[in-house]
Amino acid sequence: MSLRIGKFLGIPIKLHFTLALAVLLIAWTLAVGYLPLEYPGLSSITYWLIGIISAIILFTSVLLHELAHSYVAKKNGLPVRRIVLFIFGGVAEIEEEPKEASLEFKLALAGPLTSFTIALILWILHYSASVFGVLAIASLRYGAYINLLLGGFNLLPAFPLDGGRILRALIWYRKKDLLQATRIATRIGIFSSYIFIFFGFFFIIGGSFIGGLWFILIGWFLRNGAEASYKQTIVSEALANILIQDIMTREVHTVDPDLLIKDILETHFMKYKHGGFPVVKDSKLLGIITLEDIKKIPKEKWQETKVSDVMTTCEKLVCAKPNESAVDALMKMSKFNIGRLPVQEDGKLIGIITRSDILYAIQIKKELEGRV
């Protein structure tokens, strides 16, 4: 569950609910553990204020880090769906993989360079903040350190961290094979995740429960991220150069808008076992009716309710064109959490593409190329 707080560079910015937990955890760690040792003799309120301000600086820095990735992506024609800040930091959801190794390199490097720049700025401000007292000095100093750490951590060669993506770009440039480069980077990323998990358990046994738990969670996050990125690359490669018109279903069972709900349950849903059907009149697409639409109507009204009364109208539909790529279709389905897209040309329905069509195309492509 995420809360949208606005847009920047045309990109929606969202805060995941786990971010509140992260801010409190970081503030507590600083206020109770680090700050009393570094700045002894201050009040508890001062320690907590510094902790909260420092946590806010951290996640603002993470946002700027992700915005740097997003800026490079958008400048090079890659759509960015959104930026989400959560307990482990943040992620810019870039909807397409870079088409060239050089772009992957620039895209990955932008984040760490931004973090190092922020660290330098905060360090300079830290020296000139003595007039504002320990509250400003401690917060700026922590911000400088944490950005230095953030940039360094992201440069670790553990895919899908920035360093892992830089490694993939270099292998990709040398091997001229994105899938092979991703496979190598993923293996290194998974191995690195196990190292984090091992040290996490080691720290817990040694008495540092919070630090050990963070290492375990980071390792788990890296492992899942590496596997998910690898699967995404496999899908993108399998669907490369495949257009919607190549795999869509052309013989579409359609529904007349004037039919009654009770009739189409028998003539369409029970007979063809699909989850939804396009509603068409005179070859023009008017909408789609699904089982979910029908469930909203009381059963006793099915004998008097027309399809046009409950269908999802064309204005609310996400549609596709036959010359779009299959990858774009899959992205649309994922983005809007839908299982099918009507395919239109000149305002007329010429087919429909479903997740099953895409998955079948991926399976065939992998079997023909001998990839697992």
pLDDT of 203 over the 90 cut? no
**Distance (Å, rounded) from C-alpha 322 to C-alpha 333?**
15
| 183-190 mean pLDDT | 88
For the record, the structure tokens of 320 come out as 């596709």
The predicted pLDDT at position 103 comes to 93
The tens digit of pLDDT for each residue in 141-152 reads 888 998 999 899
**Distance (Å, rounded) from C-alpha 291 to C-alpha 86?**
35
Name which residue leads in pLDDT, 257 or 86: 257
pLDDT band at 372 (very low <50, low <70, confident <90, very high): very low
| 56-65 mean pLDDT | 90
| 10-20 mean pLDDT | 84
Mean pLDDT of the chain: 85
The predicted pLDDT at position 169 comes to 93
The predicted pLDDT at position 130 comes to 66
| 2-16 mean pLDDT | 83
Angle between helices 209-238 and 326-336 (to 10 degrees): 140
| 118-142 mean pLDDT | 81
Active site residues per annotation = 66
Query: What structural domains does the chain harbor?
Result: 2-238 (no CATH), 244-369 (3.10.580.10)
H or E stretch at 353: strand 348-354
The predicted pLDDT at position 108 comes to 93
Phi then psi for 11, rounded to 5 degrees?
A: -110, 125
pLDDT of 325 over the 90 cut? no
Determine contact, residues 243/324, Cβ cutoff 8 Å: yes
Q: Is the dihedral of CA 255, 260, 263, 269 positive or negative?
A: positive
| 166-172 mean pLDDT | 92
Name which residue leads in pLDDT, 355 or 96: 355
- Please state the pTM of the whole predicted model: 0.70
Q: What angle do CA 292, 297, 300 make, to 5 degrees?
A: 135
The tens digit of pLDDT for each residue in 270-287 reads 888 777 888 988 878 888
pLDDT band at 88 (very low <50, low <70, confident <90, very high): low
pLDDT of 66 over the 70 cut? yes
Q: Give the range among 76-90, 187-201, 356-370 with minimum mean pLDDT.
A: 356-370
pLDDT of 8 over the 90 cut? no
pLDDT of 208 over the 60 cut? yes
**Distance (Å, rounded) from C-alpha 8 to C-alpha 269?**
44
| 249-261 mean pLDDT | 88
The tens digit of pLDDT for each residue in 236-246 reads 777 777 889 88
| 96-123 mean pLDDT | 91
Determine contact, residues 214/200, Cβ cutoff 8 Å: yes
Give percent of the chain with pLDDT exceeding 90: 18
